[in-house]
Amino acid sequence: MTTALSKELAATRERFVEAGGHTTQSLGFGRVLGQIYALLYLSPHPLCLDEIAGELGVSKASVSTTVRQLQSWSAVRRVWVKGDRKDYYEAETDFRTVLRNGILATFIKKLDTAGAQIAAAQESLTKAAAQADGDGAHEVQAVAERLEKAWQFHQRISGLLNNPLLNHLL
pLDDT tens for 44-56 read 999 999 999 999 9
Residue count (the chain): 170
pTM for this model (two decimals)? 0.74
What is the mean predicted confidence (pLDDT) over 86-101?
90
57: left (phi over 0), alpha (psi -120 to 50) or beta: left
What does the domain layout of the chain look like in residue ranges? 3-93, 96-169
CATH code: domain 3-93 is: 1.10.10.10
> Residues with Cβ < 8 Å from 156, sequence gap 6 or more?
none
User: Which tens digits make up the pLDDT trace of 6-44?
Assistant: 898 889 999 999 999 999 999 889 999 999 999 999 999
